[in-house]
């Protein structure tokens, strides 16, 4: 099956020529391109830790293939996911000297790593690099603010918002391949997996989406979802 093959090549680790992703500001794929030149490429297995909370923030990371998440786990086991990073996205700059969140591979992933000091020292000499670094940070800030905003919405609003966000970042708008399990979505949205599941079912019953497989979501009526996010 054609789509299944695409899915496999994109998410399962046998990445064949990391696809250029659509619907993404050019700057994001292009800025800090130098990272790929100077950085080292590393592979991570599913759920492998990329860095831990409180570890010194010595590196920046760029997703080549696969997907990463940042998160904070609390004593009682509750977990908040800070963000998901897809191919082309850069992460690890969220902080001062040490990481405030840990990072893990959602699925088998290739990540390019570069010393933070190199970037910062480059930014100290090259005004363009400095500007790129700032742009990147600003983008991260906007994303975080946006995330913050949906945490005081209702469950349907959160899930609809998540789907629309993923659709914008997806290779083909209108069809989403989710790299992450329901638990990750739940922890990102501050809901239980059961509620996430029920909301998806509800959207499907309203024929706003179709669910050919748990990790595959087809957006049928974008307007219905948009109407939900208030």
Partner DNA sequence: CGACCATTTGATATGGATCAAGCGATGTGG
Partner DNA sequence: CCACATCGCTTGATCCATATCAAATGGTCG
Given 124, 174, 214, 227, the residue binding a second copy (CB under 8 A):
124
Q: How far apart are CA 101 and CA 228, in angstroms?
A: 31
Q: How far apart are CA 77 and CA 123, in angstroms?
A: 39
Helix axes 155-169, 127-150, angle to 10 degrees: 150
Residue 216: which of 169, 165, 161, 174 has the closest Cα? 174
Shortest gap between Cβ of 26 and a second copy (angstroms)?
A: 14
Residue 48 contacts DNA per CB under 7 A: no
Query: Where do we find the tokens 């945490």?
Result: 151
Query: Where do we find the tokens 């897809």?
Result: 86
Task: Locate 3 and state its tokens.
Answer: 């789509």
Residue 203 backbone phi and psi in degrees, to 5: -65, -35
Shortest gap between Cβ of 150 and DNA (angstroms)?
A: 11
Name the residue nearer to DNA (CB basis): 116 or 182: 182
Stretch that binds DNA, among 21-29, 99-107, 122-130, 150-158 (CB under 7 A): 150-158
Q: DSSP secondary-structure letter at 19?
A: P
Q: How far apart are CA 203 and CA 194, in angstroms?
A: 14
Picked from DNA, a second copy, none, the partner binding residue 181 (CB below 5 to 8 A depending on kind) is DNA
Residues 82-111 that bind a second copy (CB under 8 A): 82, 93-96, 100-101
Picked from a second copy, DNA, none, the partner binding residue 101 (CB below 5 to 8 A depending on kind) is a second copy
Residues at the contact surface with a second copy, assessed by CB under 8 A? 72, 74-76, 78, 80, 82, 93-96, 100-101, 123-125, 127, 130-131, 133-134, 137-138, 140-142, 144-149, 151-152, 190, 230
Residues at the contact surface with DNA, assessed by CB under 7 A? 154-156, 181-183, 190-198, 200-201, 211, 213-215
């Amino acid at each position: 099956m054609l789509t299944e093959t695409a899915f496999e090549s994109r998410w399962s680790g046998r990445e064949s020529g990391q696809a250029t992703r659509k619907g993404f500001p050019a700057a994001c794929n292009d800025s800090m391109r130098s990272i790929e030149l100077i950085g080292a490429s590393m592979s991570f297995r599913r759920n492998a830790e990329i860095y831990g909370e409180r570890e010194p923030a010595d590196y920046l990371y760029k997703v080549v293939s696969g997907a990463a998440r940042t998160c904070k786990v609390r004593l009682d086991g509750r977990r908040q996911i800070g963000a998901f990073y897809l191919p082309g996205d850069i992460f690890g700059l969220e902080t001062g000297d040490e990481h405030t969140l840990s990072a893990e591979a959602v699925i088998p992933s290739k990540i390019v790593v570069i010393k933070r000091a190199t970037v910062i020292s480059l930014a100290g000499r090259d005004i363009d690099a400095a500007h790129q670094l700032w742009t990147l940070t600003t983008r991260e800030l906007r994303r975080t603010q946006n995330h913050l905003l949906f945490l005081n919405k209702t469950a349907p609003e959160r899930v609809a918002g998540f789907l629309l966000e993923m659709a914008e970042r997806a290779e083909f708008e209108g069809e989403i391949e989710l790299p992450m399990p329901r638990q990750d979505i739940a922890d990102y949205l501050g809901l239980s997996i059961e509620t996430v599941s029920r909301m998806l079912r509800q959207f499907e019953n309203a024929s706003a989406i179709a669910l050919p497989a748990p990790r595959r979501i087809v957006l049928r009526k974008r307007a219905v979802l948009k109407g939900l996010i208030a």
